[in-house]
Structure 1
Amino acid sequence: MMKKYITYLLFFGFPLFGCQSKVAENSAYQQNWMQLEQQNKAIAFDADVKLSDAEISLDQKLFQIRKDFLAGAEKQKVSLYNSSFNELKPLIESSKLFEIFQSMPKGGLLHTHSGGITDAKWVIAAARKYKECYIYDQADTKDFIFGQLAFFQDGKVPKGFVSLDQKLSSEPGFEKQLTELLLLKRESLCTYSDYWIEFEKRFTRISLLLPYRPFFKEYYKKGFEDLAANKVQHVEIRCVFDELYDFQHGKYPLKTSVTDLQEVVKEIQKKYPEFSLKLIYSSFKFLDPQAVGKQLETAFELKKEFPDVISGFDLVADEAAGNSIYSFREDWAKLNELSKKYGVKMPLFLHAGESVSVFNKNMIDIASLDNPRIGHGLNLIYFPKTMELIKKQNKLVEVSPISNQVLGYVSDLRNHPARVLLSNGIQCSINSDDPSVYGYEGLGYDFWVAYVYWELDVKALKKLVFNSINYSSLNESEKKQSLTYLNKQWDDFVKEMNGRLK
């Protein structure tokens, strides 16, 4: 009997022990897997967000809507991942997700520019109303480019300029052509050309319009109205300051730009009381350090007079063509001295890493400067130690996904570097950069592409929205008031969407 038992054990027992061993190995594997998953979640940028039951319900509904949208796009053979924004814009606008994101409170727009904030078609229509508005309709010269708009008095119109109204009246097809000249589209993502040259031409074509004081006020009122209607409650503009003028009084002091914008904001607040504005004084990377130093001094002078409006300083223009941040180190070294002289601090909000090249090392400067927010930061992922420092310093990256695609930095938005930043705990916000140049208004489009291409959830959306106020230039009192409003708007949005979406 004992012999039979030993034989049975030999034939069947050892395999049983082996199975038990495999079960133990699988259990350990599973535990390791789950532990790693939790560890990854714990370092993500939105790890501290806890959703309510209502937010969890909305998250499930949005997940299903996105899933259905992607299935429909696949069924219709829509080229979703290698098409340009302009090609996909009609599809985005017809989607249920877009309707939802248009109504979602978006907090603040922390990264936009003075020349790219107001709808291009409106710009043409508004400029046309002025009899003193002219357009250059000749070939480009060193002074003017085809399609450039400007205001002139009678008898002082440069050669090559014709009345805008007369041009549009006599050539019915020209309005469409001019609109195209003010927009930048990236129709073929596979063919490279110098998009920055074309990009900058869009700003040049309206650059002579903005200093004209009557138009200046109209332009910003329209831009702010569109943003406020799109549920954006706070805006921070990279502003290139210029002396305003009109033909009755001539030039006005530089500060007139600030006081006029304050008046415009008061007008907007009659309908949108929560709306607020800060200005980031902007100069150019292609200037030399001495010229930037003078601009920095002017920024301090304005900030001393308007400490609650001027929030900081930036350098703009193509990073590949301009000077490095490091080349202005003597200017940055004078910041403390200037702060003592004027009695105000001047944080930097520098563009850095708007590049896909590892040779662009502007990101390295950021960790050593008083630079609480970073414009674009695309190549931050190439500098892991810097990324670690920026996370430790709790600095925010202002991400503009559509701009990054149109300018050719990220063709397939699924591969946007922000996905790496978010999963590594780098705080970010969603921004539109120069929406009028790309042919849209508001922030709904950028949130749409981020949600769809980056596989976000409501937890991530909420963090991105609230980051835009928490990392804004609002002072503590303003921030508290703004967050109170945003919290209510967010809760109302969640409730409304849960009631609407079944």
Structure 2
Amino acid sequence: MVVLLQRPLAAVAGLLWYCLTGVLSIPDPRQREALMKLEASMQTGGQMILTDAEKQLDALLFKMKQEEIMRADFPPAMHFFKARTLIQTSPIFSLLQKMPKGGALHVHDLSTTSIEWLVKNVTYRPHCYMCCTDSRSIRFVFSSQWPKALPYCSPWILLENLRAKLVNTTDLDNSIMGNLTIFTDQDPETVYPNQEVIWDTFEQAFLAMWGLVTYAPVFRDYYYQGLTEFYTDNVMYLELRALLPELYELDGSIHNRAWTLKTYQDITRDFTAEHPDFFGARIIFSVHRAVNASVMTGIVEEAMKLQRDFPDIMAGFDMVGREDSGRPLWYFRDALSLPAEHGVTLPFFFHAGETDLEGTEVDQNLLDALLFNTSRIGHGFALPRHPVAKGLSRKRGVAVEVCLISNQVMQLVKDLRNHPAATLMSENHPLVISSDDPAMFGSSGLSYDFYEAFVGLGGIRSNIGSLKELAINSIRYSSLTLKQQEKALALWQKKWDKFVSENAL
């Protein structure tokens, strides 16, 4: 027993051999206890050595979790849209909001910032026009003169004129917000009966906000506000999947992708200068997986150039959009091979395994992502069904970016206790927790997803060591250089020690 605790890895083989080959007429309580301790040591954070203060805080968390799990309305077992208010009242959630969570490594550019901020701030600016589409969605544009009509859209309405005619603008604002998010106060399973319906609504919401966010002055403020919201949630670093849209000005002039990337770089530097305990942000240039092979070739060539010209802010390349209806990675193999053929370093951060279509061509994206040496796996929901891919990702240290609320909302899993990442967490597979599209889901920052991971995925056994390792993982598996990681970890450790000392009993 003592040997097991002091040298757990060395004792594993002997203990398992004894249990498998030994003939026991009566189960030995000591061996049972040793097996339980061994299994607990194998989970995420299971071998983390805790300080006395961390142990005190862990005892408090354990008591909170015991009470949480006994609730009849247990949030991880419920759809997030129904559980959100319950989570907000949880003492565990309040504590997690204060916790330094490291980095958010899987977040999309058009869903970082509160939809309420977008409506209450941006749509009240001068020169903002709106029209209604035939598919019951909306579109926006900022223009110094009356804009040209869009196909399949009503005549443009200048919002400041419309609001001037209304006695109460609340209903209009709520209606606009409803078009820019998929969150609903109604029964989500009734509103979204299947994956096709929710994905269509999801993509329509992005199209609706496109004209707002791609207006250059709004783009700057939107990104800065997004950084502020993550910073307020005690996230110190961000890796953003960004489409790098061609931004427009009030007179209709257009900026190219390099201009957009430089804008990201400039705003990140400004924000970091104003918030010295924020470590920074990097961009993963992304393109929709619905494009054809020739378009992808041009995009990858442009990505290589951007990587060369903006090495500090550009982290790498990915494809976005629904995997089930998009083209698989192997379809783009020629374009994705270009960096290696040209001897150019362009790190990949591929979405893969965000599907429940087992055995299909889409389901092979996990193996193909690893064949193309992806730096991380986005979602990896299907990974436990692929033992070879799972083994390779562990061996290579390719972390899975787990986005629990996203997977539940997009109907891959109902009860988060049954999420495949629960198995990965029990094995201490390389993984990080992220929030994907928080503004779209009525979430924000990382705290909601950390709550679901800590209370739902980890169950009663996950502890403060699990939280600590997940936060450390978000820096360890980031695109930062080793030197930058060391600096970021030192900054995070100071925040962590302060958090522990202020909240331990």
TM-score category of the 2 structures, normalised to the smaller one: 0.7 to 0.9
- Change in Cα spacing, 1:82 to 1:426, as seen in structure 2 (3 Å) is closer
Matches within 5 A, 1:88-107: 88-107=83-102
- Cα shift readout 1:192-221 (whole Å, capped 9, x = no counterpart): 352111111111111122221111101001
**Is 293-302 or 250-259 further displaced after alignment?**
250-259
Does structure 2 retain, via aligned residues, the 8 Å contact 1:149–1:205? yes
Match for residue 80 of structure 2? 85
Cα offset for 1:59?
1.1
Q: Give the corresponding residue for 2:496.
A: 490
What's 2:3 paired with?
none
Q: TM-score, normalised by structure 1?
A: 0.88
Q: Is the 8 A contact 2:127 2:143 kept in 1?
A: yes
- On the 8 A contact 2:300/2:336 being kept in 1, the answer is no
- The answer on 1:432 being equivalent to 2:435 is yes
**How far off its partner does 1:292 sit?**
1.0
1:319 maps onto 2:323 in alignment: yes
**Aligned residue in 1 for 2:9:** none
**1:198 aligns to what SS in structure 2?**
helix
| Matching of residue 243 in structure 1 with residue 246 in structure 2 | yes
Do the aligned partners of 2:133 and 2:139 also contact (CA within 8 Å) in 1?
no
Paired with 2:46 and 2:77, the residues of 1 have a C-alpha distance of: 31
CA contact (8 A) 2:432 2:470 kept: yes
Q: How far off is 1:336 after superposition?
A: 1.0
- More displaced, 437-446 or 262-271? 262-271
Match of 1:167 in 2: 162
Summarize the alignment of residues 109-188 of structure 1 with structure 2, pairs less than 5 Å apart.
Answer: 109-140=104-135, 146-158=137-149, 160-171=155-166, 172=169, 173-185=171-183, 187-188=187-188
**Residue 14 (structure 1) aligns with:** none
How far apart, CA to CA, are the structure 2 residues paired with 1:448 and 1:42?
21
SS at structure 2 position matched to 1:148:
strand
How high is the TM-score relative to the length of structure 2? 0.87
Match of 1:6 in 2: none
By how many angstroms is 1:81 displaced? 5.2
3-state SS, counterpart of residue 103 of structure 2: strand
- Report the equivalent of 1:357: 357
Cα deviation digits, residues 357-390 of structure 1 (max 9, x gap): 2122211113322212110000001111221111
2:470 paired residue number: 464
Counting matched residue pairs gives 464
1: distance between equivalents of 2:127 and 2:397?
Answer: 50
Q: Which residue identity does 1:305 align to in structure 2?
A: D
SS of alignment partner, residue 237 of structure 2: strand
Map of 2:409 onto structure 1: 406
Aligned residue number for residue 68 of structure 2: 69
2:244–2:261 contact (8 Å) kept in structure 1: no
Give the letter aligned to residue 321 of structure 2.
A
Asked whether the equivalents of residues 304 and 339 of structure 2 are also in contact (C-alpha less than 8 Å), the reply is no
Hey, what does 2:378 align to over in structure 1?
A: 375
**Counterpart of 1:273?**
276
Three-state SS of the structure 2 residue aligned to 1:453 is: helix
Q: Is the 8 A contact 2:317 2:349 kept in 1?
A: yes
Alpha-carbon separation, structure 2, partners of 1:39 and 1:498: 27
Quote the offset at 1:169 in angstroms.
4.4
What secondary structure sits across from 1:88 in the alignment?
A: helix
Structure 1 distance, partners of 2:155, 2:398, is 48
- Asked if the contact 1:183/1:438 (under 8 Å) is kept, the reply is yes
Alpha-carbon distance between aligned partners in 2 of 1:417 and 1:79, rounded to the nearest angstrom: 19
CA distance in 2, matches of 1:80, 1:126: 32
Question: Take 1:279 and 1:138, find their aligned partners in 2: how far apart are those partners?
Answer: 32
Q: Which residue of 1 aligns with 2:301?
A: 297
Q: Secondary structure at the match of 1:405?
A: helix
Contact in 2 for aligned 1:355/1:378 (Cα 8 Å):
yes
Hey, what does 2:421 align to over in structure 1?
418
* Conservation of the 8 A alpha-carbon contact between 1:351 and 1:376: yes
Asked if the contact 1:403/1:432 (under 8 Å) is kept, the reply is yes
Q: Distance in 2 between matches of 1:268 and 1:204?
A: 28
Q: Which blocks of at least 5 consecutive residues in structure 2 are unaligned? A: 1-22
Question: What secondary structure is seen at the aligned counterpart in 2 of 1:437?
Answer: coil
Q: Describe the shift of the 1:170–1:95 C-alpha distance in structure 2 as closer, same or farther (beyond 3 A).
A: farther
Deviations 1:300-341 (A, max 9, x none): 111111111111100010000001111111122222123x3x
> Do the aligned partners of 2:57 and 2:503 also contact (CA within 8 Å) in 1?
yes
1:176 and 1:240 map into 2 onto residues whose CA distance is 27
CA distance in 1, matches of 2:163, 2:477: 45
> C-alpha distance in 2, partners of 1:62/1:47?
16
3-state SS in 2 of match to 1:257 = helix
- Which residue is 2:212 aligned to? 209
Q: Compute the RMSD of aligned alpha carbons.
A: 2.1
Q: CA deviation at 1:274?
A: 3.1
**Offset of residue 477 of structure 1:** 2.3
Distance 1:450 1:279 in 2: 25
State how far apart, in whole Å, the 1-side matches of 2:57 and 2:338 are: 50
Distance, in Å, in 1 between the alignment partners of 2:299 and 2:489 is 33
**Offset of 1:83 from its aligned partner?**
2.8
| Structure 1 residues not aligned, in runs of 5+ | 1-22
Identity rate of aligned residues, in percent? 29
Moved more, 205-214 or 293-302: 205-214
